[in-house]
Amino acid sequence: MNALAATNRNFRKASRILGLDSKLEKSLLIPFREIKVECTIPKDDGTLVSYIGFRVQHDNARGPMKGGIRYHPEVDHDEVNALAQLMTWKTAVADIPYGGAKGGIGCIPKDLSISELERLTRVFTQKIHDLIGINTDVPAPDMGTNSQTMAWMLDEYSKFHGHSPAIVTGKPIDLGGSLGRDAATGRGVVYATGALLAEYGKNIKDLTFVIQGFGNVGAWAAKLIHEKGGKVIAVSDITGAVKNPNGLDIAALMNHKEATGALTGFSGGDSMNSDELLTQECDVLIPCALGGVLNRENADHIKAKFIIEAANHPTDPEADEILCKKGVVILPDIYANAGGVTVSYFEWVQNIQGFMWNEEKVNMELEKYMTKAFHNLKNMCKSHNCNLRMGAFTLGVNRVARATMLRGWEA
């Protein structure tokens, strides 16, 4: 099942639990605006090449639309649509005043030079500059993009609209980026994990963790769990996997990856087959990479007691049902990885005020938001007698539906 079908299915389930009017349900599902643009750039060798860029603006009932821009060969209309919708519910779960959006360009970023990427970003921004805005739609980095991409977008947008640091988040610190933004998603995952474990009378320091994906989110989550005394016994990324039943030294592993560009060959652990990582014996499994990694083929073999969805949509609906029957507790992505968008919100607030916070304040506010969101989510689970995923979806959908109705959607 693709991401769009799965997201729609979760939305419909939540809508039934909440007893939403069928007309309102349909209205909430249809995106506010879909944009598809052609981006033609000269390559370094002088030849012209064309790419297709997308921006789906899903809902703005609760505030400006918010979501990443990804550069990836698999960027297609359905995927962008599903991720935009997911952002609508995610911002509502985190209780930040945004709606959802998502965008991207179908390209292979590693095949493009820095100057080609810059030209592509600037052309894309030129095509959509009058459809985004500080109070309309605020992009951010995603897969295949980074703070440099945001710097180019900010510069190009500002040529049309004057200096506008709040137009994008995830910027370099020197251009108004927020301290703590780099670690935000990983840190949010750790705060979310702590809140969930406390509910079961458990603590990070007493448990074992397996982390799939060692990019920004996975590496920060591993580092912070390690600092809190948790035992990270296996990690993997596209280069391979490494395990140590006594716990990996995460700082040393990060240094090794920085030096060699790969996890393999690390002296503080043994290499293992990446495919076996998900079924490794552990207390907590944290998928931080791509969607759909937990599916009906491997769900029966998962040995973790808790799964924290740091990636977007890592669990297929079929796997979800199998794991629920086994009694595995799954903390859903629309809550678990909301740390990134929460600190993006803090960055936007700082830019609008022209007053920057120190890192301590950013992290303290993030913990406050993640903890409060978890308690709101648990309350939804209790009042509707449902699992954590439906608790999160009913919380998010209910907030958006209430805002939509208060604004007068039938007029």
* Residues with a known catalytic role: 102
To which H or E segment does residue 308 belong? strand 306-308
User: What is the rounded CA–CA span in Å between residue 404 and residue 136?
Assistant: 16
Q: What is the SS3 assignment for 213?
A: coil
Compute the Cα dihedral for 346, 350, 353, 356 and give only its sign: positive
CA distance 241 to 277: 7
Per the annotation, does 90 bind a ligand?
yes
∠ CA 17-23-29, rounded to 5° = 75
> Is residue 344 marked as binding?
yes
Q: Is 91 annotated as a binding residue?
A: no
DSSP string, 228-252: TT-EEEEEEETTEEEE-TT---HHH
Q: Residue 350 corresponds to which tokens in the numbers above?
A: 């700082």
**Backbone region of residue 298 per phi and psi (left: phi > 0; alpha: psi in -120 to 50; beta: other values):** alpha
Q: How far apart are CA 30 and CA 391, in angstroms?
A: 22
| Binding residue ranges for NAD(+) | 185, 216
| Binding residue ranges for substrate | 66, 90, 344
| Binding residue ranges | 66, 90, 185, 216, 344
